[in-house]
Amino acid sequence: MPSTNNCLPKNHRHGQKVLNGLGLGYEKIHSCKINCMLFYKEYETLDTCAICNESRFKMTSQNRMTKILQKVMRYLPLKPRLQQFYMSMHTATDMRWHKEKRVDDDVMRHPADGEAWKEFDRKFPEFVADSRNVRLRLATDEFNPYGVLNQHYSTWPIFVFPYEKRAVVDELKDLWINGVCKYNKYTGKMFTLRAVVMWTSRKGYMTCPICKEDVTSGWHARKACYLGHRRWLPCNHEWRENDKEFIGNTKRCLKPREWSGDDILAQLNRLNFAPFGKIVSQIRPSTHLNCTHKPMFFELPYWSKLKLRHNLDVMYVEQVVFDTLMGTILDI
């Protein structure tokens, strides 16, 4: 007999209805077959790609009444998901912790204790004035359903987003300029919620936005590692001369120049990038470093003003270090 306490949806369709009712559904946006562009906004009515002329629909028999799409992007809207944070009394209180309850004692416990967060506060006091406004970090990640076990088979759900005219950038612009009206469970009133993207994640040998071509990177334990951090220390620091503890060499070079967002934007504007998609396979020029395109985030009014636009996921790094350490100790 089925349990009366089972609250799971009866089927997939019913589960979708529940998520849509909570504002956690998705939107379908048609995409080019080879990811050149989205059929979105001014391109919404086109039947062929404006870049490569690929058809929006698959070739079917002439007597078929419905058209089959080549590719569809399922977009998870950001605004209704932000609303959920203020639908609970507990999370509505936690969302303001960084300003109302955080202890500022020069100890690094939270991103709000960092210099990048504080400099943003100084540059955009109007945004900071309302502690209910949200700061976001965009990350790309995946998960293995079998954990860290050595399995021959695993399932990896993948979300692919064409950058050209990407919907999330338009939504982020609106959240910065206009905001969205939300209900606050804690106060029982409506308010205008604004949001800002503080950081994203990057990868690759030339990924550091500060060091740029002066980055020191290498391959170790199936990961791209970034070395040479001792050059940021004072010139007379004892660790600079310690070769035994640091891969067998000393470090006497000066720290690299720190490029501002405006400097990087000016450099990107001078470069010529290949079009999106898979039309032509081109070798990236050395002048482009780690850039394959000009990031769409530079269209956000505040992006070039941020002190730090890319960072590492601290919790993920802690997990990798812990897993590696325990695996070594337990000989897994």
149 and 60 housed in the same domain: no
71 and 143 housed in the same domain: no
290 and 322 housed in the same domain: yes
* Residue 260 near residue 211 (C-beta atoms within 8 A): no
Look at residue 321 and tell me if it is in a domain. Answer: yes
* Count of domains forming the chain: 3
* Distance separating alpha carbons of residues 323 and 313, to the nearest angstrom: 16
Nearest alpha-carbon partner for 131 in 179, 103, 94: 94
Lookup: tokens for 231? 């050059």
- Domain of residue 251: give its range: 216-255
83 and 55 housed in the same domain: no
Look at residue 69 and tell me if it is in a domain. Answer: yes
Nearest alpha-carbon partner for 180 in 171, 169, 189, 188: 171
Burial 143-161 (b: 16+ CB within 10 A, else e): eeeeeeeeeeeeeeeeeee
In this predicted structure, the answer to whether residue 174 has a pLDDT above a threshold of 90 is yes
Residue type, position 26, single letter: Y
Lookup: tokens for 250? 């000393």
105 and 224 housed in the same domain: no
pLDDT tens by residue, 261-302: 888 888 888 887 776 665 555 566 666 666 777 888 899 999
pLDDT tens by residue, 200-259: 877 777 777 667 777 777 777 677 777 778 888 888 898 888 888 877 788 888 888 888
Region of poorest pLDDT, from 41-50, 149-158, 226-235, 276-285: 149-158
Q: What is the rounded radius of gyration, in angstroms, for the C-alpha atoms of the chain?
A: 24
Give percent of the chain above pLDDT 90.
16
160 and 43 housed in the same domain: no
Kindly indicate the confidence band of residue 163, based on its pLDDT and cuts at 50, 70 and 90. Answer: very low
DSSP per position, 25-44? --EEEEE-TTSS-BS-GGGT
Kindly indicate the confidence band of residue 162, based on its pLDDT and cuts at 50, 70 and 90. Answer: very low
* Distance separating alpha carbons of residues 75 and 231, to the nearest angstrom: 43
Look at residue 18 and tell me if it is in a domain. Answer: no
185 and 271 housed in the same domain: yes
123 and 148 housed in the same domain: yes
Look at residue 2 and tell me if it is in a domain. Answer: no
- The predicted pLDDT at position 175 comes to 93
* Average pLDDT rounded to a whole number, residues 28-44: 88
Contacts of 308 (CB under 8 A, 6+ apart): 114, 116, 198, 199
Q: Are strands 71-75 and 195-200 parallel, antiparallel or unpaired?
A: unpaired
Could you tell me how far CA 30 lies from the centroid of its own chain?
22
31 and 162 housed in the same domain: no
Comparison of pLDDT for 125 and 221, the residue scoring more: 125
250 and 154 housed in the same domain: no
Q: Which helix (H) or strand (E) holds 323?
A: helix 314-329
* Average pLDDT rounded to a whole number, residues 13-24: 84
Look at residue 151 and tell me if it is in a domain. Answer: yes
- With H, G, I as helix, E, B as strand and everything else as coil, classify residue 195: strand
Contacts of 45 (CB under 8 A, 6+ apart): none
264 and 244 housed in the same domain: no
Look at residue 64 and tell me if it is in a domain. Answer: yes
Give this prediction's pTM.
Answer: 0.77
In this predicted structure, the answer to whether residue 73 has a pLDDT above a threshold of 50 is yes
99 and 231 housed in the same domain: no
Look at residue 20 and tell me if it is in a domain. Answer: no
Region of poorest pLDDT, from 146-150, 169-173, 182-186: 146-150
Look at residue 14 and tell me if it is in a domain. Answer: no
